[in-house]
Amino acid sequence: MIDDSIPLKYRGLLQRVRTLGSKSKAEAIKAMCLECVSFKYKWVTKCTSIKCPLFQVRPYQKKDVVNINVVTTTQGELIVTSRNL
């Protein structure tokens, strides 16, 4: 059963992934990312969770290719830089 709190436009997607057993990896990733950000697709585009295993394949990315570089300092801080390729 799909919760009524899920926006109507995403209920079909979640129904296919959860209940009908969709074999589409793209649909599963999209559903996971949308659930993570409370179904706000613009938040998926602005996701900064670089440690998430789905970060590089998340939906709603711009078509630009971005190179992300993560460095850990000796104090354990993460330094993230990015640039368009």
Say how many domains are in the chain. 1
Q: Is residue 29 part of a domain?
A: yes
What value does the mean pLDDT of the chain take?
82
Q: What is the pLDDT of residue 39?
A: 93
Q: Is residue 1 part of a domain?
A: no
Q: Compute the half-sphere exposure of residue 8: CA atoms within 13 Å on the CB side of its CA.
A: 0
The residue segments making up the domain with residue 54 are 8-84
Q: Is residue 3 part of a domain?
A: no
Q: Is residue 20 part of a domain?
A: yes
3-state secondary structure of 11: helix
Does the pTM exceed 0.85?
no
Amino acid identity for residue 39 in this structure = F
Cα–Cα distance measured from residue 83 to residue 64, given in angstroms and rounded to the nearest whole number? 10
Q: Is residue 64 part of a domain?
A: yes
* Confidence band of 66 (pLDDT split at 50, 70, 90): low
3-state secondary structure of 48: coil
Q: Is residue 30 part of a domain?
A: yes
Give pLDDT tens digits for 19-54: 877 788 999 999 999 999 999 988 988 888 888 999
